[in-house]
Structure 1
Amino acid sequence: MNLFERLLHRRLCNEQPVDGGAAPAASEPAPTAGDNPTPAGAPAAKEGDTPQPGTEGDKPAGEKPADEKKPDGDKPAEKKEDDKPEGAPEKYEFQTAEGVELDTEALKDFEPVARELNLSNEQAQKLVDAYPKILAGVQQRQAEAWQKQTEDWAAEVKADKEIGGDKLTGSLSKAQRAFDSFSTPELKEYLNTTGLGNHPGLVKMFVKIGSAMSEDGMVTGNNAGQRSAAEVLYGN
């Protein structure tokens, strides 16, 4: 092999890559380590370009921070101690139906409550109008309860082993005799009206007085051997 053939053979060996690919042209420099070439097909970045807003980590434009303080104008007005309720008038004025009188003592207790609840005069008037009906209902229920109580007392007297049963007629005769002797017309009316005359304890007391009157006799003087009214009523 002559000198020319040796030079040609060396040139071919140097330009042929190991993997069999095409060797780079002698005029193009081979890429060095650390270069970051732009991928094929990707647009090249222009000089002076800046990141666009709205990317991850950026806050939307116009959004206020959560901890931003509200302006003083948004605070609710503080209520002063001397502020008067809007609904309650300076003075309540109530009207009543013809023939109905206001309970002045009850109104003294009602007006402060109505003012505390901030009731207008119209609202408070409705409660005033309802008061007589409520009171009448309460009184009716009380009367019915008392009527039942007096009836229960009468039933208890009739069933009493000492003065009731077969002895009832004689016991009531004795009680009537004592009652007529010691009571007054006012007391009779009161006991009959209220129903207290049916109380078992009162009936038994008058039965004992009537029995003492029929057995020993009774005078209002100091005759020997005879009992006075005080002795019959209260004992020795």
Structure 2
Amino acid sequence: MAEETDVVDEVIDDQVADDQVTDQKPADEDQPGADDKKADGDDTKADGSERKETKTLLSDDEGDGSDEGVPEKYEFTPPEGIDLSEDAQTRLEAFGDTAREMNLSQEQYQSLIEYDIERGQKALVEAANGFVERVEGWAGETKADKELGGDALNANLGTIKAAQEKFGSPALAELVGAPSVDNPNGLGLGNHPEFLRLMLRVGKALGEDTFHEGDGHKASDGDSLKRMYPSMFKEAS
């Protein structure tokens, strides 16, 4: 009878062990939301500790690797020889807001403004040189013009000069002159063939014999013409 009881107990123990194995599931599947954690890339290790993260120096979160941050207020120091106008100062202050949005450091801000000034100066020099070449090109066209140039050039310039002095104003004289530091309003019209053609025809219509310079010399005097139209006499000077 005792032996039968031992056999029954063994059968019961084996059945309990089988049921436990059958009912056991992976830990992740028993826990609610386990699939969501996997999908979201849970940083928790199996032993419950958290995974550490690291970032490279070139990542966006680390900026440019510089310890210098965005200043409360940007200060621009003009390079030697550069004087900023009041308008330029105002525009720099307005740019400060944009620089702050760009997370520029003080050093980056200074370098960017210096670059922009240098670029602007270079553009102005190139534009000025280009206009000087254009004005000199007008002189060449006038000298080669059948009505204005050739052997009659000096006489024609004399007639034009006399008409300009009689009917023109100082402001017109500035426009006629070549652009320079002393004559910033100059457009070099004194070399343009069409302007000279108009003035020549006006002078001839009024009678060129009536035009004389104030000092008593004739309008065709060579020295006077050279002073008025220096570009026309470059080869001779």
TM-score (ref. length: structure 2)? 0.51
Aligned partner of 2:96 in structure 1 is 111
Distance 2:165 2:208 in 1: 17
**Aligned with residue 137 of structure 1, among 98, 112, 122:** 122
Distance 2:90 2:201 in 1: 46
User: Residue 159 of structure 2 contacts residue 204 of structure 2 at CA under 8 Å; is this kept in 1?
Assistant: yes
Aligned partner of 2:112 in structure 1 is 127
Aligned partner of 1:231 in structure 2 is none
Instruction: Give the deviation of 1:210 after TM superposition.
Output: 1.4
Equivalent pairs, count: 157
User: Residue 159 of structure 2 contacts residue 208 of structure 2 at CA under 8 Å; is this kept in 1?
Assistant: no
Distance 2:138 2:208 in 1: 28
Q: Does 1:208 align with 2:193?
A: no
Gap runs ≥5 in structure 1? 1-46, 51-59, 75-85, 219-236
SS in 2 for 1:95: coil
Instruction: Give the deviation of 1:123 after TM superposition.
Output: 0.7
Instruction: Give the deviation of 1:99 after TM superposition.
Output: 4.9
Distance 2:36 2:172 in 1: 84
**Aligned with residue 100 of structure 1, among 82, 91, 99:** 82
User: Residue 174 of structure 1 contacts residue 209 of structure 1 at CA under 8 Å; is this kept in 2?
Assistant: no
| Structure with higher RCO (Cα < 8 A, 6+ apart) | 2
Shift in alpha-carbon separation, 1:113–1:149, aligned structure 2, 3 A: farther
Within a 5 Å distance, the mapping from 1:1-236 to structure 2 comes to: 68=37, 69-70=39-40, 71=42, 87-97=69-79, 99-102=81-84, 103-108=88-93, 110-194=95-179, 195-214=188-207
Shift in alpha-carbon separation, 1:91–1:212, aligned structure 2, 3 A: same
Shift in alpha-carbon separation, 1:199–1:109, aligned structure 2, 3 A: farther
Aligned partner of 2:229 in structure 1 is none
User: Residue 88 of structure 1 contacts residue 120 of structure 1 at CA under 8 Å; is this kept in 2?
Assistant: yes
Gap runs ≥5 in structure 2? 1-13, 19-25, 29-33, 45-49, 51-67, 180-187, 212-237
The alignment-based identity, stated in percent, is 38
Distance 1:67 1:182 in 2: 92
Shift in alpha-carbon separation, 1:179–1:133, aligned structure 2, 3 A: same
Structure with the greater alpha carbon radius of gyration: 1
Instruction: Give the deviation of 1:208 after TM superposition.
Output: 1.1
User: Residue 154 of structure 1 contacts residue 199 of structure 1 at CA under 8 Å; is this kept in 2?
Assistant: yes
1 or 2, which has the higher helix percentage? 2
TM-score (ref. length: structure 1)? 0.51
User: Residue 150 of structure 1 contacts residue 199 of structure 1 at CA under 8 Å; is this kept in 2?
Assistant: yes
Distance 1:176 1:104 in 2: 45
Instruction: Give the deviation of 1:144 after TM superposition.
Output: 0.8
Letter in 2 for 1:93: E
